[in-house]
C-alpha cells in the first residue's frame, strides 16, 4: 500500500479539482490509500473513500516561512505534519511553493548528509515519451559547488529508481560544452564531478530538449530561469497556435483535418501530465503540484507522488549519497 | 551614407547566402555602402557593386582568441580591422562568436568607461511586432553587480535609440519579483539600480515574453541559458508542428486551410528576421549573425547593423553612460 497525504485546499482553484482527481486516482489504483487534509464540509464527498484530517485555514500563495510555521491549522501545515505522524510515504500540495518547501524541510527534515534539498522536475524532450530530470529548479536561490555535486548524486539516484535505468547520464548546465567553459561555480563543480562514473560533462541549454541527457544539474537560480523561460515559450507558442486555428472559419476547418497530428504534438508538450515538481533530499516523497492545477494536472501530481513512493526513490537517494 | 563592413566568409554556409543577402540589401537601400571581405574569386559577382577587401583564410568556428588574433589574413580579422581603417559605421560576421567578440573588443575597443561589452539581442514577445532587448546573452561567463548595472544603462540607451522610446522599462532577471528575492548578484545589482528612473525591478523568466518589458538585464551565463533554452523550445515546437502537419494526407489538407493563421504565428516567432545579436559597449556597431545564417537571416543581420548605425546607437550609449 502506498500512503499519500494530500493538501486538498492549497491550490488556486480550491478543492474542486483536487476532490475530482483524488476520486479518480483511488478508483484507478487499488494499492493506494489517501489521507485528505482540508475543510471537512468541503471534503464531504470523499468521506467514505479516504481518511480525512480536518483543517480550518488555508495558507495564502504569497506566504512567508514564518507565517507558514505559525498557522498550525492550515491545510498545508497539517498535511506535512501528518506525513510524519501517520507514517505516510508521500505528501502533496498545490499551495505556496515557499511554504511547502520550508515546512517539508523543517518538519520532515533533510536526509542525513544532505546540505540542501532541491526541486526536481521531469521535462519533455524531442524523443517521444522520453523525459529528462532537471534539478534544482528553484528550491535555492544560490548554491555552492558541493551542493551542485550533491544534486548530481540525488538526481542520478532519482532517475535510477524512477526510470529504472542503471547508469543515467548526468550533465551540468553551462554556456558551452568544452571543459574550460562556464563561470566559477560551473568550473568548481566540474572539478568535483569529473571522476564520477555517470557524469558526462557540460550541456548547453539548447540541448536539454534533445533527449540525450537523463539528468541535468542547475543551480536553483539558473534552473528557475531556464524552466520558467522554456515553459513561457511553450505556452506562448501554444497560445499563438490556438489563435492561428481559431482566426477564421477556414483555419477552424484546417484544425479539424490536422487534429490528430496536433494531438500527438500537444501530448508531447503536455506539462499537465507530469504535474509539478518534487522536493528531493528530504525523508519523504514531497510533491509540489502547480498552483493553478486543474483535475488533470493534480492527477498527474498524484501519479508522480505514487510512482516515486512505490519505486522507493527516497531510499535509493539515501543509498546513493553514501557511495 | 551608412558604411558596413561584412565578413562574407565566416558562416557555416560560406559566401552563397552572404552574397545573395548583400546584393538584395544594396538593391533595397540607396543610403548604404558595403565593404565585402573575403575570397576575391568567390566575391566576383559583387565586384561592380561593393568595395572588396581580399582575404585568404577563414577562422574556424571553434577558434581560440589567440588563433583569431594571430591569423591576420582571416576574413573576420580583416573585416574588424577595416571597420576602423575605413572608418565604417558597422561590422558584421557570421563566424566564430568567440573570435568576433574578442577581435571587436581588442581592435575596435571598448567605449571609455565600459567595463565589459555585452551581447544584446532582440526577442519576440506575445505582443505583435513588439520586441524586448536582452543583455548580456553570452559575451561574459560571469559578471559583477557593477557590470550588470552598466548593462542596464547600455540596454536603456540602445532601446531609446533603436525603438525611439524616451523611457524604456528596464528589468533585472530574477527567480521572483519581490525585492528580497534573488542570489547575491541580483540583490547587489538591485541595490545599485534601485534609484534609476527607468528601472522597474525584478522580472521572472516566464514574463519576458509578455511584452511588458523593453529591456531585461542578465548576467552572461544566465542570459545564455535563457536564450538557448527558449530558442530550443521554440525550435522543438516548430518541428513538432511541422511533423503534425505532414503526418497524413488529412493533416496536410488541414495545413492548407489553416495556413494563413499559421503564417501569422510563424512570422511572430521568426528569429531569422531579427538575425543575430549585437556586441554593445564597443566603439562601432558590431553584429554577430547566426553561424548557420541563410540569406534571409543574414539580410536580417544586415538590417540590424544598418538600423543600429543609422539610429546612432553607439553615440547614444556613450551619452547615457555619462549620465
Here the ipTM equals 0.90
Block mean pLDDT (10 aa), chain B, length 323: 96 94 97 96 94 95 88 96 97 94 96 95 88 94 97 96 96 91 96 96 94 97 95 82 73 69 64 76 96 92 96 95 80
Q: Who wins on pLDDT, A322 or B72? A: B72
Do the domains B1-114+281-314 and B115-273 sit in the same CATH topology, yes or no?
A: yes
CA B211 vs CA A229, B81, B126, B208, B225: distances in Å: 14, 38, 6, 7, 20
Among residues 189-228 of chain A, which lie with CB inside 8 Å of chain B? Answer: 204-209, 220-222, 224-228
CA distance A218 to A228: 13
Residue of chain B nearest A261, judged by CA positions: B244
pLDDT in tens, A50-79: 999 999 999 998 888 889 999 999 999 999
Nearest CB partner across the interface for B205, out of A228, A248, A268: A228
Question: Is B131's Cβ below 8 Å from some Cβ in A?
Answer: no
CA B287 vs CA B76, B98, B143: distances in Å: 12, 13, 21
Cα atoms in the 13 Å half-sphere on the side-chain side of B281: 26
Residue of chain B nearest A123, judged by CA positions: B233
Is domain B115-273 given the CATH code 3.40.630.10 in the classification?
no
Q: Are the CB atoms for A216 and A134 separated by under 8 Å?
A: yes
What DSSP string describes B160-181? HHHH--SS--EEEEESSSSTT-
Report phi then psi at B233, rounded to 5.
Answer: -65, -45
Is domain A1-114+281-314 given the CATH code 3.40.718.10 in the classification?
yes
CA B314 vs CA A110, B308, B310: distances in Å: 53, 8, 10
CA B266 vs CA A285, B144, B249, B315: distances in Å: 42, 37, 22, 34
Q: Are the CB atoms for B265 and A240 separated by under 8 Å?
A: yes
CA distance B132 to B246: 33
pTM here is 0.92
Residue B223's pLDDT is what? 97
Question: Which residue, among B128, B242, B261, would best test binding to A if mutated, counting the most A CBs under 10 Å from its CB?
Answer: B261
Residue B174's closest CA among B138, B140, B219?
A: B219
Pick from A192-201, A216-225, B256-265: least confident? B256-265
From chain A, the residues in CB contact with B260 under 8 A are: 247-248, 250-251
Work out the number of other CB atoms within 10 angstroms of the CB of residue A52.
18
Among residues 263-282 of chain A, which lie with CB inside 8 Å of chain B? Answer: 264-265, 268-269
Do strands B170-174 and B118-124 pair parallel, antiparallel, or not at all (unpaired)? unpaired
Instruction: Say if the Cβ atoms of B205 and A184 lie within 8 Å.
Output: no
Nearest CB partner across the interface for A230, out of B221, B233, B240: B233
Cell digits of residue A101: 518547501
CA distance B149 to B185: 11
From chain A, the residues in CB contact with B96 under 8 A are: none
Residue of chain B nearest A172, judged by CA positions: B225
What DSSP string describes A142-163? ---HHHHHHHHHHHHHHHHHHH
Among residues 84-123 of chain B, which lie with CB inside 8 Å of chain A? Answer: none
Structural domain boundaries in chain B:
1-114+281-314, 115-273
Residue A242's pLDDT is what? 75
CA distance B183 to A143: 9
Q: Is the peptide bond before A278 cis (omega within 30 degrees of 0)?
A: no
pLDDT in tens, A237-279: 877 777 777 767 776 776 676 666 666 666 666 555 566 899 9
CA distance A63 to B174: 19
Question: Which residue, among A175, A187, A223, A252, would best test binding to B if mutated, counting the most B CBs under 10 Å from its CB?
Answer: A175
**Topology adopted by domain A116-272:** Isopropylmalate Dehydrogenase (3.40.718)
Nearest CA-CA distance, residue B71 and chain A, Å: 22
Residue of chain B nearest A231, judged by CA positions: B206
Segment (H or E) for B246: helix B220-246
Residue keyed to cell 498524484: A302
Instruction: Say if the Cβ atoms of B255 and A258 lie within 8 Å.
Output: yes
Residue B260's pLDDT is what? 66
Segment (H or E) for A2: strand A2-7
Question: Is B233's Cβ below 8 Å from some Cβ in A?
Answer: yes
Give SS3 for A284: coil
Nearest CA-CA distance, residue B50 and chain A, Å: 37
Residue A268's pLDDT is what? 62
For chain B, how many residues are written?
323
Residue A264's pLDDT is what? 65
Amino acid at each position: 500500500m502506498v500512503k499519500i497525504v494530500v493538501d486538498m485546499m492549497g491550490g488556486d482553484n480550491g478543492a474542486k479539482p483536487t476532490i475530482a482527481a483524488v476520486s479518480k486516482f483511488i478508483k484507478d489504483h487499488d494499492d493506494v490509500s489517501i489521507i485528505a487534509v482540508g475543510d471537512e464540509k468541503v471534503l464531504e464527498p470523499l468521506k467514505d473513500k479516504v481518511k480525512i484530517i480536518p483543517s480550518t485555514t488555508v495558507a495564502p500563495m504569497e506566504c512567508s516561512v514564518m507565517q507558514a510555521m505559525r498557522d498550525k491549522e492550515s491545510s498545508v501545515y497539517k498535511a506535512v505534519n501528518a506525513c510524519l505522524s501517520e507514517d505516510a510515504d508521500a505528501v502533496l500540495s498545490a499551495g505556496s511553493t515557499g511554504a511547502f518547501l520550508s515546512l517539508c524541510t523543517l518538519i520532515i527534515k533533510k536526509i542525513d548528509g544532505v546540505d540542501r534539498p532541491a526541486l526536481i522536475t521531469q521535462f519533455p524532450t524531442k524523443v517521444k515519451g522520453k523525459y529528462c530530470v532537471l534539478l534544482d529548479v528553484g528550491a535555492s536561490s544560490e548554491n555552492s559547488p558541493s551542493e551542485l555535486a550533491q544534486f548530481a548524486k540525488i538526481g542520478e539516484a532519482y532517475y535510477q529508481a524512477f526510470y529504472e535505468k542503471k547508469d543515467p547520464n548526468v550533465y551540468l548546465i553551462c554556456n558551452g560544452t568544452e571543459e574550460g567553459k562556464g563561470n566559477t561555480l560551473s568550473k568548481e563543480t566540474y572539478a568535483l564531478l569529473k571522476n564520477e562514473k555517470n557524469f558526462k560533462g557540460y550541456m548547453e541549454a539548447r540541448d536539454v530538449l534533445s533527449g540525450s541527457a537523463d539528468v541535468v544539474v542547475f543551480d536553483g537560480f539558473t534552473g528557475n530561469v531556464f524552466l520558467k523561460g522554456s515553459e513561457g515559450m511553450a505556452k506562448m507558442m501554444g497560445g499563438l497556435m490556438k489563435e492561428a486555428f481559431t482566426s477564421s472559419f477556414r483555419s477552424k476547418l484546417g484544425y479539424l483535418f490536422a487534429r490528430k497530428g496536433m494531438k500527438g504534438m500537444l501530448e508531447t508538450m503536455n506539462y499537465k501530465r507530469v504535474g509539478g515538481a518534487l522536493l528531493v533530499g528530504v525523508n519523504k516523497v514531497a510533491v509540489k503540484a502547480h498552483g493553478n492545477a486543474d483535475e488533470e494536472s493534480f492527477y498527474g501530481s498524484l501519479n508522480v507522488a505514487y510512482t516515486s513512493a512505490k519505486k522507493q526513490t527516497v531510499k535509493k537517494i539515501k543509498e546513493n549519497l553514501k557511495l
